[in-house]
Amino acid sequence: MKVTNKSTLIISILIPLAVGSLSALFSGNMSYSALNKPSFSPPSALFPVVWTILYILMGISSYLIYSSDSAGKRKALTIYLLQLVVNFFWSIIFFGFSQYWFAFLWLIALIILIAIMIDQFYRINPLAAYLQIPYLLWCLFAAYLNYQIYLLN
């Protein structure tokens, strides 16, 4: 990966980090530990670490698309921004409003958008698409966890 503009790369990384931070801020103070969770549920301390890594990978991936000369980059980045907006609202729905079923459905929509984004990114830069795969896998796990929490609460 050749970085042609370090400022753009930094901004590309800061955007998803800011989205995640603001989402957490607006989600309220409902504690994950207070929920009835399935036995395979990871510890609370793992989530900020994983999300930070995923947001950094998202930023690098979006930088690769933004820096390309592809005619399809506008469409790909639009889908990227749309999934970031959907991502932003999931934790507010889940933690802020405790709407576990609706949050699960919202997460399914997010997963579909992530899959579309990966496809669009792959057409432009396969590395950008591959960097999104951990995000897709984590959201699939999150959907399963979200559904189990819905059943238990």
For residue range 75-87, list pLDDT tens digits in order.
999 999 999 999 9
Structure tokens that stand for 153 in this block: 């609460």
3-class SS of residue 70: coil
Q: Which residues of the chain have pLDDT under 50?
A: none
**pLDDT tens per residue across span 131-153:** 999 999 999 999 999 999 999 99
Using CB atoms within 10 A of its CB, is residue 136 exposed (0-12), middle (13-18) or buried (19+)?
Answer: middle
DSSP 75: H
Model pTM? 0.94
Total residue count of the chain as it appears in this document: 153
Report how far residue 62's alpha carbon sits from residue 12's, in angstroms, rounded to the nearest whole number: 7
* Integer Cα distance of 77 and 63 in angstroms: 10
Distance from chain centroid for Cα 136:
8
Q: How many CA atoms lie within 13 A of 127 on its CB side?
A: 12
